[in-house]
Amino acid sequence: MGQLEDMAMFVRVVEAGSITKAADQLNIAKSAVSRRLKDLETRLGSQLISRTTRQSNLTEAGEHYYQQVCSILNEVDALNEQTSGAPTRIEGTLKMTAPLSFGLMHLNEVISDYANQNPNLDFELDFSDRHIDLIEEGYELAIRIGELKDSSYQAKRLTSVRFILCASPEYLDTKGRPKTLEDLKDHTFLQYSLAKYSDLELIDEKGKKHNIAIDAKIKATNGEFLANMAVKGHGIVFIPTFIAYKALRRGELVPILQQYQQPTLNAYAVYPKNRFLSQRCRYLIDFIAERFGDDPYWDQF
């Protein structure tokens, strides 16, 4: 193995958080990673990682080395791409995560078309609503919806995500259509249980925010399930249009209290800040952003 490979291995150990996790991500034996790390430290004449039976921590020298190595590896990757005389060849394995409903409902065609354009590219996709540490679990890219607070990541906006308050015609015929915020107190709600806030936030024509406490009849961790429950007449649901749009087009769900605005979020492509973003990821991010745009197809109902 050359020096650049040893540098890349060291970065993987640091970002994975342990030799064991790095070995799993690299698909090589733990003993091989340990040996190469020890050889690197011997060659440098300095301990980079302080290892105990319970944890590993960067030494002061290791922290400095890590920052410099990240910069060097990024520059090498960029230089190789810029000076390559061959046509762009997208290959390797793209490891990406996305929210469950968004991924299943809207990334099928995107990934299919991108795969057809790049037959040498493999995919490893995780569709789930759990929060994944990209660095620790070895993911290159994530699609995330909402506010981004983790400063260790970079992000590019892909599209907007609107929410809508809606219910089935049958439910509204039985319970009555709410015309004011006060009317909501007499209605049954369906709620996404992983949401950070349980209150419903609506914005009036003057821009004033109104927070309405709701007592949900049904809570669930999946938006598609809640939309189906709403279609079956079990209550009012506050849900992203990218989940409800088909039912809205068919008239199985109808918007209510449209004089109030619902908060709009954004969908982002997120990736580690200190890691060079591969061509396969950069091109996919642009591909998704162009496909969805600022006025995505699911808002046409």
Where in the chain are the domains?
Answer: 3-83, 92-158+265-294, 161-264
% of the chain exceeding 70 in pLDDT: 91
Q: Do domains 92-158+265-294 and 161-264 have the same CATH topology?
A: yes
The answer as to CATH 3.40.630.30 being correct for domain 161-264 is no
pTM beyond cutoff 0.75: no
| Average of per-residue pLDDT across 4-22 | 83
- Which of the two residues, 36 and 15, has the higher pLDDT score? 36
> Computed over its alpha carbons, how large is the radius of gyration of the chain?
24
- Sign of the C-alpha dihedral computed for residues 226, 221, 154 and 290 taken in this order: negative
Q: What's domain 3-83's architecture?
A: Orthogonal Bundle (1.10)
Return the pLDDT at 159: 95
**Is a pLDDT exceeding 90 seen at residue 67?**
no
Residues in the chain: 301
| Average of per-residue pLDDT across 90-117 | 93
- How far apart (Å, rounded) are the C-alpha atoms in residues 45 and 69? 16
Q: Which of 13-17, 29-33, 259-263 has the lowest mean pLDDT?
A: 13-17
Return the pLDDT at 207: 86
Residue 108: strand, helix, or coil: helix
Confidence tier at 139 by pLDDT (50, 70, 90)? confident
Closest CA to 265 of 146, 102, 163: 146
Adjacent-strand bridge partners of 134: none
Topology (CATH level 3) of domain 92-158+265-294: D-Maltodextrin-Binding Protein; domain 2 (3.40.190)
Helix (H) or strand (E) holding 10: helix 3-16
